Amino acid sequence: MVCEMETDQIEEMDVEVLPSMWPENVGTEADKQFNVEKPAGDLDTLKEVTIEETPTIADLTRLPELMNSTQQGSSQLTNLVKQWEYMQDNAVRLLREELKNLNRQREEAEAKELKIIEEYKFESNEPENVPVLDETSDLFRRFRQKKRDALVDSKKIEIYEEFDTVAYWKQKASNLEKMLEASTERERRLVEKLSESLKTMESQSAPVQELTQNLKRAEGFLHFILQNAPIVMGHQDKDLRYLFIYNKYPSLREQDILGKTDVEIFHGGGVKESQDFKREVLEKGKASKREITFTTDLFGSKTFLIYVEPVYNKAGEKIGINYMGMEVTEQVDKREKMAKLREDNAVRKAMESELNKTIHITEETMRAKQMLATMSHEIRSPLSGVVGMAEILSTTKLDKEQRQLLNVMISSGDLVLQLINDILDLSKVESGVMRLEATKFRPREVVKHVLQTAAASLKKSLTLEGNIADDVPIEVVGDVLRIRQILTNLISNAIKFTHEGNVGIKLQVISEPSFARDNALTADTEEQEQNENAIPCLFKKYMQASADHARKYGGTGLGLAICKQLVELMGGQLTVTSRVNEGSTFTFILPYKVGTSDDYSDDQDEFSDMADHQSEPDDTAEGYFQFKPLLGSIYSNGGPGIGNDFLPHKVMLTSPIKLINGFVADPSNNTGQSEMLQLENGGYVDESKLETSSDHCPESAHQYENGNGRCFSKESESCSSSQASSEGGTLEMESELTVSSHREEEKAETDLKETSKPKILLVEDNKINIMVAKSMMKQLGHTMDIANNGVEAITAINHSSYDLVLMDVCMPVLDGLKATRLIRSYEETGNWNAAIEAGVDIKTSETEQVCVRSTNRLPIIAMTANTLAESSEECYANGMDSFISKPVTLQKLRECLQQYLH
């Protein structure tokens, strides 16, 4: 390194020193020329560089050859020659000028000498009397001195002596002589100088020396510049074989490169490309630059900026290329990084804006859905009002035509209600408002109830089956309402599209590693009409298999979409497999938790009341249910009129079954029957269709009682119902009985099959009191029928036999006291004459046949408010057995029942 530095310095000095060697005007020009002539010079100097100082590779034998053969080489030489010639010319010109000057001076001097000589000829006779003039010689000397100081060419010689005197001529002669002397002296000096100059010229301006100097300087300069440059330079012939290469950091030996092409030397990415590029330049004859990335075993992955120019020989033919490469890997990396950064930035910005757009759209969608939900809700409320009012209206006295119209109205209204509920559910789920409840419930009861409900409205000869695996827990935790909704939906679909065979629900536990355990509920259905190609759109909203389907089956097409959404909301999945003519299976899998016993189960589903409602052994462990079609079942058309007021959410569940199908769908039923048989929904048995149901439940067909849909067969599921519907239905029943014409038959049936279960009748006009009393009865393990006034009570007693009557005293239409009197009168006389006299409308013709227990005294207990008008004395006086003061409490009721039952 130190050594290099030194050479550097030396070279620098060279560079500095050199210009002084040139005559000033020539030197600068030559410099410029040299700078211009760079490329040719490069090659030339490199020869020297490689030889002496650097470990570069160069073909020394080839280079001079190359220099001689190529155009660049020759032009370089010509240049040098020209330059030398120019310098020589200049020197000659200078010398000539000098010579000319000297000649002119000599001529002048000669001319003067001649003149002087002529003058001397004139005065040759005059003796030279120089000694005489001794005293004046000083003066002359002074003169001569003066003259010499003055220019040679001053032609006038001033003489202050008097003209034509001796002194004058003497002075003149001596003056001229001195002038001549001076002139000769000058001439001699000039000649001397000239010869000297010529000598130095000769010694200095030998062309080889000049060129060597020049080259040395260039070489030094180049070496100085190129010493550490990361540059590879080379020359390749027409076949792209290296003839010469310079590389600061060579990784290959000279002999490995020279005479070979790139492809032969290197392997890897980029080699071919560079070869092609060089060839292209060679063919086009136009210098060009390109960036090429090499990936070779030799030096890894590096990017080079390559400059290639074609080389012509003197004849202008291409003989190869010059090539220069510089490594720019880092720069390229940086540049690419920047580009990537910029690109990433752009992409991120684009994504951001995209995201914003999506968010905006989502927000809009949510808002729209929210709005739909709100609107549906807003529509539902008044519509509920309309339907509710219509239902209430249907409980009033109407003629047949009015009733039919009203029923169409109710069923249409209910359809709309159902649709709105569906939309509401769907938009609730989609907008994320839907909240699931986690309550304990009994899956068996859910399945049973769903099937029961479906069976109640079944109009086809289908068998409904429920199959629950033994390992399904008795109680699980989940949102029972929603699960039931899903099942109901699937089953009603199944029933709708299945024309014969079975429809069923299978419930089993499957275990999957991902969930702890899964509750897999399978709804197996046979759907003859299901088309394979319709499956993809099954779960879409408002989609039905075809337009024909919509016409044929009706419905909104929302059901399955809701099911799917609900199942997914619960963390499960709903799938379907289907084969035309073989049926479809909808399967949904839900994760579930087993309810622990200490869980506070505050939210038993309403149908689980039923287990308590029926005073039967708990059938929670039962795993199989079957429901044969109860063909011709009669559907309640107005049951929930009252229930609607205070239990709207429950009515929603039960009313579709009751209302949609009613009379419109089943025109074969006569209106009278239908009205009369509005019992609890599971227990509807039409007298006229008893055969159908009896093959599956033979006794139960006859244990049919008005006012209470109890059925005592083993298949007693069919008599359960929701609290809401039972209440609604029963109340409805009571009011309808007065106009009914078929009750006697029923009574006959009932009486024959009377059981030990006590029958209680509550006569009460106050809904709240009814509700409370009923609830108390339930707690005490009894159910009871309700009559709203004395007349209804009489009618009910006429119909059925009771073990106990709880009678409110103060009632509209017919108060408790009067009613009791009439009942007592009937017991005594065996007829209702007194009642008829009192204006109660009773068909006496039939009463006598069915009156079985008229001889027994029916315990009638008054319920009094302890006011003056309702004194206990009066109660006893009117034939009542006892009284309970209002408000009724559990304790009072229990005591009373203990006293009068059993």
**Interface positions with another protein (CB under 8 A):** 600-604, 608-609, 612-613, 645-647, 723, 765-769, 771-772, 775-776, 778-779, 808, 810, 812, 865, 867, 886-890
Cβ closer to another protein: 549 or 886?
A: 886
DSSP 43-86: HHHHHHHHHHT------TTHHHHHHHHBHHHHHHHHHHHHHHHH
Q: Enumerate the β-bridge partners of residue 508.
A: 520
The span from the first CA to the last CA of the chain, in angstroms, equals 128
**Nearest-10 Cα torsion for 745, 707, 714, 630:** 70
Cα angle: 897, vertex 898, 899; to 5 degrees: 90
Quick count: other Cβ atoms within 10 Å of Cβ 345? Answer: 10
Instruction: Judge whether 343 and 351 are in contact, CB under 8 Å.
Output: no
Asked if omega into 887 is within 30° of 0 (cis), the reply is yes
- Shortest distance in whole angstroms from residue 862 CB to another protein: 13
Q: At what angle do helices 62-69 and 38-52 cross, to 10 degrees?
A: 170
Cβ closer to another protein: 593 or 778?
A: 778
- Shortest distance in whole angstroms from residue 769 CB to another protein: 5
Q: What strands lie across the sheet with 476-478, from one edge to the other? A: 439-441, 476-478, 593-594
Cβ closer to another protein: 98 or 609?
A: 609
Cα angle: 470, vertex 475, 477; to 5 degrees: 125
Cβ closer to another protein: 425 or 606?
A: 606
Distances (CA, A) of 245 to 33, 322, 471, 852: 26, 10, 88, 133
- Shortest distance in whole angstroms from residue 607 CB to another protein: 10
- Shortest distance in whole angstroms from residue 612 CB to another protein: 5
- Shortest distance in whole angstroms from residue 765 CB to another protein: 7
Cβ closer to another protein: 97 or 645?
A: 645
- Shortest distance in whole angstroms from residue 772 CB to another protein: 5
Closest CA to 565 of 367, 433, 447, 655: 433
723 contact partners, CB below 8 Å, separation of at least 6: 606, 609, 610, 613, 650
Cβ closer to another protein: 452 or 723?
A: 723
Q: Is 432 left (phi over 0), alpha (psi -120 to 50) or beta?
A: left
CA distance linking residue 250 with residue 56, whole number of Å: 7
- Shortest distance in whole angstroms from residue 456 CB to another protein: 22
Cβ closer to another protein: 180 or 780?
A: 780
Cβ closer to another protein: 430 or 606?
A: 606
- Shortest distance in whole angstroms from residue 468 CB to another protein: 22
- Shortest distance in whole angstroms from residue 622 CB to another protein: 19
- Shortest distance in whole angstroms from residue 793 CB to another protein: 17
Cβ closer to another protein: 476 or 850?
A: 476
Distances (CA, A) of 892 to 758, 863, 879, 887, 888: 18, 11, 20, 9, 7
Quick count: other Cβ atoms within 10 Å of Cβ 74? Answer: 15
Cβ closer to another protein: 381 or 856?
A: 381
Cβ closer to another protein: 209 or 779?
A: 779
CA distance linking residue 387 with residue 662, whole number of Å: 14
CA distance linking residue 86 with residue 202, whole number of Å: 15
Cβ closer to another protein: 334 or 894?
A: 894
- Shortest distance in whole angstroms from residue 874 CB to another protein: 16
For tokens 């009397």, the residue is 129
CA distance linking residue 453 with residue 609, whole number of Å: 15
- Shortest distance in whole angstroms from residue 886 CB to another protein: 6
Distances (CA, A) of 724 to 212, 344, 732: 122, 64, 12
